Amino acid sequence: MRHTRQLFPSSRSGKVDLAHHQLETGPENTSYTNYHSQLNHSHILLATMSESEEVKKAIIKMALSETNTNNARQLMTSINRRCFDYCVPNPGSSLSDGEQQCINSCMEKYIKAWNEVNAAYLRRIQQEVGNNNISIGN
Amino acid sequence: MSNSNLTDADLAKLNDKDKAEIAQFLAHEQQRGRVQSQTHALTSLCWKKCIAPSAPHASSSSSSSTSSSTTSGIRGFFGGSRSTVSNDLDSTEKQCLANCVDRFMDANYATMQHLKTLQNQF
C-alpha cells in the first residue's frame, strides 16, 4: 500500500483519501492477533467495544489494500502495453539501451499522464454533480 | 497480512455503528475503484491521441508539435527508436490530455442523446 502511494502521490481525491491516510496512520498499531492474546476477561464490556473497532479496522484495511493493489495492477498493465508500443516499434534480438531508457522515461511520463487525466476526470465529475447531472458541462 | 483471516466469529463482534461505518466506507471505496478504472481507460485512450499517435512519424494536429520536431531527426537516425523520450509532460501534452477527457465525456453525452432520438424514431 505504501508502495502504491509513492507511485502516484497526487492521484487520490482529497476527501476520501485524507480519511484513508488518517486510518492508516492512526493509533491502531496493536495488531489484531496481539490484541487477542492480551485480552483480559475482567474487562468484557470495554473489550467488546474495542473488539468491534479492531474488526472494523481490519476490514477497512483489507478493502483499501484491495483497491490499491487493483489500481497498481491496472496501471502496470497499461504502462507495459503503451510503453512497449511506444518504445519498441521494431522488436530486435534484445532490448537495446535506448529502448530500456525509453521505457523508464515512458513509465514516469505515463504516471504523470495518469495523474493529469485523473484530475481532469474528477474536475468533470464535480462539474456534472454541480450541474445536478442534467447537462454535461456545456 | 494478518488481518486477512477474519472469521464469522470476528464479524459477529461488530456493533451496529461500526457496521454502518463499514457499509459507508465500502461504498466510498467502490466509487474510488470505479473512478480509478475509468481513469485507466481514459489515460490509455488519451495517451494514444496526445503522446504517442499510432503512426510514429505522422504529424498529429493536437499532439505536441514542438517535441516531435526536435526529436524527429534523432528518431530517424536510430531507425524509429525513441531513446530520447522526455519523462515529463509539456504544456501542449497536458492541455491535450485535459481536452481529451472533456471531449470524450462530451462525445459520451452526445451518443446518449442521439440514442434517445433514435429510440423515438423506431
Query: Long-range contacts: A125-131, Cβ < 8 Å, 24+?
Result: A125/B35
Query: Residue B112's Cα: distance from chain center in Å?
Result: 21
| pLDDT at position B120 | 87
Taking only residues 74 to 93 of chain A, the set having a beta carbon closer than 8 angstroms to any beta carbon of chain B reads 74-75, 78, 81-82, 85-90
Per-residue confidence of chain B (122 residues) as pLDDT tens digits?
444 678 888 888 888 999 999 999 999 999 999 999 999 999 999 999 999 876 444 333 433 434 444 444 334 334 445 556 789 999 999 999 999 999 999 999 999 999 999 988 87
Taking only residues 20 to 59 of chain B, the set having a beta carbon closer than 8 angstroms to any beta carbon of chain A reads 21-22, 25-26, 28-29, 32-33, 35-40, 42-44, 46-48, 50-52, 56
ipTM > 0.95, yes or no: no
DSSP string, chain B: -GGG---HHHHHT--HHHHHHHHHHHHHHHHHHHHHHHHHHHHHHHHHHHT--SSTTSPPSSS-HHHHHHHHHHHHHTTT--TT--SS--HHHHHHHHHHHHHHHHHHHHHHHHHHHHHHH-
Contacts of A40 (CB under 8 A, 6+ apart): A47
| pLDDT at position A47 | 58
| pLDDT at position A44 | 54
Contacts of A38 (CB under 8 A, 6+ apart): A30
Please, how many CA atoms are within 13 Å of residue A92, restricted to the half-sphere of its CB? 12
Look at residues A103, A115, A131 and name the one whose alpha carbon lies nearest to residue A9: A115
Give me the residues of chain A with pLDDT under 70, please.
1-47, 133-138
- CB < 8 Å to A124, chain B: 101-102, 105
Distance from CA of A130 to the nearest CA of B (A): 16
**How far apart, in whole angstroms, are the C-alpha atoms of residue B87 and residue B66?**
15
| pLDDT at position A101 | 94
| pLDDT at position B54 | 62
Note whether B15 contacts A120, CB cutoff 8 Å: no
Note whether A55 contacts B38, CB cutoff 8 Å: no
**What's the angle, vertex CA A22, arms to CA A19 and CA B11, rounded to 5?**
80
- The reported pTM is 0.68
| pLDDT at position A27 | 39
Interface contact B7, partner A, CB < 8 A = no
| pLDDT at position A45 | 55
